[in-house]
Amino acid sequence: MMDNKLFFTYLIVMAGVTYLVRTVPLLIFRKKIENRFIKSFLFYMPYAVLGSMTFPTIIYSTGDMISGIIGMLVGAVLAFKNKSLMTVAAAACIAALAVKLIMMI
Select the residue interacting with other proteins from 3, 23, 102, 105 (CB under 8 A). Answer: 23
Does 79 sit near other proteins (CB under 8 A)?
yes
Select the residue interacting with other proteins from 65, 66, 83, 105 (CB under 8 A). Answer: 83
**Burial code of 55-93, b = ≥16 C-beta within 10 A, e = fewer?**
eeebbeebeeeebbbbbbebbeebbeeeeeeeebeebbe
Q: How far is the CB of 5 from other proteins (least distance, A)?
A: 12
Give Cα 91 distance to the centre of its chain: 17
Select the residue interacting with other proteins from 43, 65, 102, 105 (CB under 8 A). Answer: 43
CA 57 – CA 36 distance, rounded (Å): 33
Select the residue interacting with other proteins from 5, 65, 66, 80 (CB under 8 A). Answer: 80
Q: How far is the CB of 77 from other proteins (least distance, A)?
A: 9
Does 102 sit near other proteins (CB under 8 A)?
no
In this structure, are residues 68 and 58 in contact, taking their beta carbons and an 8 Å threshold?
Answer: yes
